[in-house]
Amino acid sequence: QVQLVESGGGLVQAGGSLRLSCADSGRTFDNYHMGWFRQAPGKERDFVAGISWSGGTTFYADSVKGRFTISRDNAKNTVYLQMNSLKLEDAAVYYCAGGRFLSSDSKEYYYWGQGTPVTVSS
């Protein structure tokens, strides 16, 4: 089965940038739509960004639009989330996920990574 592993999280100052990666360690995931989600302590897991299997379609949560960019490199079985102009509200554990449908609903995804934490300081 597809096995997703996130990396790139860490501590960053507000206004700074981080680039998250999510790699499939097992097999090619060219035909999976991919999404990034995040979950802050005591909060629900929220949609952040999604990308179609080809990379031709992307969409974002309003809270990150214009600051975050999702992309993928199918040759490397990897999806990325470039996060710029980070805010305190962006602090969360970030998860990547794969599914058959391009959606902002976490229920539509069935492959999940373990998460990588992002901490934003003032």
Report strand pairing: 10-13 vs 116-121: parallel
Nearest to 21 by CA among 63, 77, 59: 77
Maximum alpha-carbon separation in the chain: 40
Tens digits of pLDDT across the chain (122 residues): 678 999 999 999 999 999 999 998 766 666 789 999 999 999 999 999 999 988 899 999 999 999 999 999 988 889 999 999 999 999 999 999 999 888 999 999 989 999 999 999 99
**In 3-state terms, what secondary structure has residue 22?**
strand
In this structure, the number of other CB atoms found within 10 A of the CB of residue 9 comes to 18
